[in-house]
Structures are given as C-alpha cells and as structure tokens.
Structure 1
Amino acid sequence: MSDLPELVLRGSPSPHVVQLTLNRISKRNALSNELIVQLAAALRTAALDDSVRCVVICGGDGFFSAGADIKEMQQRGFEAIDNPVRRAAWRDISGFAKPLIAAVDGVCYGGGHELALLADIIIAGAGATFGQPEINIGILPGDGATQRLTRVAGKSLAMLMMLTGEPIDAATALRAGLVAEVVEKGQALSRAMVIAELIATKPPRSAELAKASVLAAYHTTLDTGLEFERQAIRYAFTTEDQTEGMNAFFEKRPPKYSGR
C-alpha cells in the first residue's frame, strides 16, 4: 500500500473533525477503484476513532469529481465498476455511521455525484454543477444514482439528468433538495467546516442516532421508520451525554459531551 499514490489526503483542521480530500488531481478526481478503496479505508479509520465526530469530503480546485474512471471501464468493461473490492468499499462508505458532509465546488459528475449523494449534507459553491452523463458513453449510472437521486430530487428531475446527460447548476440542485446550501464560489469547504465544527459540539451518539433515523425514512415504511425513531431516542436516554445535556440546560452552562 505504501507504494501506491496517496489518492485521499487526511487532515484534522479542528477538534473532532476530519477532512478527506480527493487527490487524483490530474484525472479531475475520477473515481478509480484504488481511490474508492482508499476513501473507504479512511472512513473506516474515522469510524473507529472515538475522537472523530464529523467528516468532510472535498475535491480540488474547480472540481469535486468528474466521475468514474472511464479508462478503467474501457480496459476492464463492467468488471471495472462491479467487482467485490469496489462493492465492499462502496458499502463501507455508504454505511459510515457518523455525520458526513460533502463540500462541492465545480464539477460533480457521474460517480462523483453518486459519492456526494452518500453525504448527509451537501454544501455547494455557486459555480458547482451536478450531472449523470453516463448515457453519453452508452451506459447508465451504476453506483446508486438511479435510486438515491430519484428519492432525493424526484423522478422528473432524475429522469431529465439521466436521460439527457445534461448537468444542473447549484441553484437548481438547491431547489430540488439535492444540496442543503449554496454559498459563494470557492467557499463550499469553509462553510462545510463551520457546519462540521458545530456538529462536533453535539453529543456524538445522538448525532449518529439522528442520522440513522433519517436514513431509515428512505428504507422503510412510515410506521417502521417511526418505530426506529422511537427506539433510537429510547437509547439516547440511556447515555451519559443525555444526562449531561439536560443538566447543562438547567444549570445554564455549555455542555461537555464525552460520547458516552
């Protein structure tokens, strides 16, 4: 592994926050199998580190990610995007239990867009564009967009993006509920960091339970989701942080959360 290029850079810009920067700049962060594997490994490490409470994923100057690696697909065909290693890596990314923010400035296409869809919050710069252009090379999205984009933005917009291959701008993505905020061009990462730092001040188990409960809305019926929420809050009431939070409220002081 040490002989491989470092395709994901890890930083800790503030307490309890990890920044993961996609670092395949010469290929506009095209999601090669190795990049996906390294990103999954970085998230597994963050998942096991009790000091980490929020992760921010970002790209380079002018692009988040241009999509999957077309050269790999040309050489390996379908196996390039559907193999046991890549599937396992995507499962680890999608199953990351802690809050995950994507800071998107510039191009966010194809597999890169599908990666951003795995984030809990997307912050977009004003010049960002989002697209699923796979139809232009004779295929279709294969890393989740047909399901996740449709659930988030609705059938009509998902169909428009996937059947025409044309991207949408940040303002359209905001109206569709695809992104949480649009900020000035070049400011997506700084805004994402502000949000991450705020999340990091909250009780980490409660944040994870809230994330899991919201995601349950996409996988279950309403009644099942409501029961999931009920069990999640039941568990939250058993944590030390719940006691600390409530005591701090009545004592009119800032809470000190431990993650227990």
Structure 2
Amino acid sequence: MNKSYEYIETSVKGQLGFITLDRPSVLNAINRPMVSEIVTVLEEFDKNENVRAIVLSGNGRAFAAGADIAEMADENAVDFELRNQFKDWDRIAMIKKPIIGAVQGFALGGGFELALCCDLLFAAEDAEFGFPEVNLGVMPGAGGTQRLTKLVGRTKAMEWLFTGKRISGREALHFGIINRLIAKELLLEETIKMAESIARQAPLSIRLIKESVLKAVDTPINEGMQFERKNFYLLFSSEDQKEGMKAFQEKRKPHFKGK
C-alpha cells in the first residue's frame, strides 16, 4: 500500500494485510482519527482480492492503553450525538474477512473494545485487559459492555465493568476472551502463522463461516440454523467447492481462488 497514515502502519505481505497501531509514546491511545484510519484500511483490505486475512497489532509496549482522554474531557452529550461518535466503530463489524489480533501489554478501554472486534485474539503472557471507564465516571461506548457480556456472561462482565479491575492474560484465556496465550517474543510470529493458515483455506468458506458464527451470537438457534443452511447451499455454487472436493478425491492439495 502506498498511502501513509499518521497513527497506524499498514502493509500487505503475501496473502496477509497488516495494521499496526503506531502511537507508542502514548501507549497507542486511540483517538478518532486513528479509528478512522483503521476502518479505512480494513475496508481496503476487505476489497483487495489478494488479502485473505488481516493481522491487527500495536507498536511498542502496549496494544492500546485506552481512548485519548484529552480528546474527550471537555465534550458533552450533544457533541457526541451530533458527531455520531461511534459510527466508524460500527463499520468494523461489516468487515467480511477474518481479523486476527495480537495483544501485548495493555488493552484497556477503547483498546480492549478494538481487541474484542477481532475474530481471533492472541495475547502475550504480559497482556492485561480491562475497562477502567467507571473510574472516570463514564462507561464503554464502542461495544465493550455488549461484546464482553456475550463472551463471558452477565455476572463476570458486571464484575469487571463495575470495578474496572484488570484481567490478566491467564484469566482472559480461561474465560474465552482470547484464543491463545503466547510468550511475548513469539506473539507476532505465532499470530502470523495462524493468519497464514486461515489464508490458505477457501476464502468464500471463511467469509460465510464468519458471517454464520456472528449470526449465532445474536439470534435464536432455529433462525441461525436456517441462515447456516442457506450459506452451506450457497458454497455449492462456488468454483472452490468443486476444486476442494475434486482435490480430496484425487488425494492432492486444493488450489482455492475465492470464486
């Protein structure tokens, strides 16, 4: 990618798109322009046929230590409403390709909300998660109360949100917030390995699996089953389904094209 950004670094290597938060001097504190840049690049990667998976990480000692408080301290409710403060965050949920997050150090407040937008999440052994907003007299507003509750259940979410308590990497693994806990020096390497493994799969299958799983989170099982079934049928109109089954019969590796 040729375009340079102020708050993030981006690149495409092989079949992977990379987005790295790049405000290390303030532990990658998230401000509105950074979110706009992240979403812009996510949407570019989503349209790029050469990108099959997206890796999201942070430069320096932290993934993202929260929202930029200086940006919000003097705001009022009408400012937020008229600006539609979280409209860019809503666009992240529309990304069809898998997003794999790598978290080291802090993922707090808005940083935790961004991490929860990932489809898979790997964390270094020093990772700490949490929603400290209650200590500032506010609360999460970019999906934190919703996504955390759906992941860990009502009672544990309430405890963490009420107290602002930090969640260790080990706790995050135990409660299903992250997929794997990894030595810090191996975090990015292992995250990339997983992303490359996913990128080798049939892109349309990955796309419709992601869509179906997200549907399962928010709908009754009967409705979700009907949605899954339609996606299952749809894949039988793809070239990749023919190639995948032919390769299985011929005892060779399939060559998927995303068509």
Query: Could you say which TM-score interval applies, normalised by the shorter chain?
Result: over 0.9
Show the 5 A alignment for 1:117-128. 117-128=116-127
Superposition deviation, residue 29 in structure 1:
1.1
2:163 aligned partner: 164
- The 2-side partners of 1:119 and 1:3 are apart by 24
RMSD value, Cα: 1.8
Instruction: Determine if the alignment matches structure 1 residue 47 to structure 2 residue 34.
Output: no
Superposition deviation, residue 31 in structure 1:
1.1
2:187 aligned partner: 188
- The 2-side partners of 1:189 and 1:29 are apart by 17
For structure 1, the residue ranges without an aligned partner over 5 or more in a row are none
For structure 2, the residue ranges without an aligned partner over 5 or more in a row are none
Instruction: Determine if the alignment matches structure 1 residue 68 to structure 2 residue 67.
Output: yes
State whether residues 86 and 142 of structure 2, in contact with CA within 8 Å, keep that contact through their aligned partners in structure 1.
Answer: no
Show the 5 A alignment for 1:215-254. 215-254=214-253
SS at match of 2:218: coil
State whether residues 16 and 53 of structure 1, in contact with CA within 8 Å, keep that contact through their aligned partners in structure 2.
Answer: yes
Identity of aligned residues (%): 36
Structure 1 stretches of 4+ moved >6 Å = none
Closer, same or farther: CA 49–4 of 1 in aligned 2, 3 Å: closer
1:3-62 deviation per Cα after TM superposition (whole angstroms, max 9, x unaligned): 99521211223x210110011222211110000000000011011111111001001222
- The 2-side partners of 1:188 and 1:40 are apart by 23
Q: How many residues align?
A: 258
1:6 aligned partner: 6
Closer, same or farther: CA 123–3 of 1 in aligned 2, 3 Å: closer
SS at match of 1:103: strand
The letter of the residue matching 2:133 is E
- The 2-side partners of 1:79 and 1:113 are apart by 25
SS at match of 2:71: helix
Closer, same or farther: CA 83–217 of 1 in aligned 2, 3 Å: farther
1:124-144 deviation per Cα after TM superposition (whole angstroms, max 9, x unaligned): 111100000000111111111
- The 2-side partners of 1:254 and 1:123 are apart by 28
The letter of the residue matching 1:91 is D
TM-score by length of 2: 0.95
State whether residues 102 and 123 of structure 2, in contact with CA within 8 Å, keep that contact through their aligned partners in structure 1.
Answer: yes
1:35 aligned partner: 34
- The 1-side partners of 2:131 and 2:198 are apart by 30
- The 1-side partners of 2:196 and 2:121 are apart by 15
- The 2-side partners of 1:42 and 1:79 are apart by 29
